[in-house]
Amino acid sequence: MPENVQVLCPCCDTLLTVDPETGAVLREERPTKREHKSLEDAIGSVKAQKRDAELRLTRAMEEAKHREQILERKFEEARKKAAENPDERPPGPFDGD
């Protein structure tokens, strides 16, 4: 019975242990990459992400408020148009052809 073969992936530096008879990967060891050099860097990154998330939420809430006003205006315009021409039928989804 031949020994298992260890192969180092050139793309991701993962060490693969392969069974030569079946070709199945028996084990993979991925290198651990530290995203931050220190705890202070990690805390700073988390605080920055929190600030960004709060800003995005605030912006989204403001847009939602304005979106409601815009939709209300469009609805009122459509209502006025329908009141001016009660006999005119609104276009159907298949009438454009």
Dihedral of alpha carbons 50, 56, 62, 68, sign = negative
Cα-trace Rg, the chain: 31
Give bridge partners of residue 97 from the DSSP assignment.
Answer: none
Tokens at 80, concatenated = 């006025």
Q: Give the position of tokens 């315009």.
A: 77
What pLDDT sits at residue 64?
84
Domain-wise residue ranges, the chain? 1-32, 34-85
What pLDDT sits at residue 15?
92
Listed in sequence order, the DSSP H helices in 4-97 are 39-84
- Angle at the Cα of 95 from the Cα atoms of 90 and 96, rounded to 5 degrees: 110
Count other C-beta atoms under 10 Å from residue 11's C-beta.
5
pLDDT tens for the chain, residues 1 to 97: 578 999 998 888 899 999 988 889 899 999 887 777 888 988 999 999 999 999 999 999 888 888 888 888 899 998 898 888 877 777 778 877 5
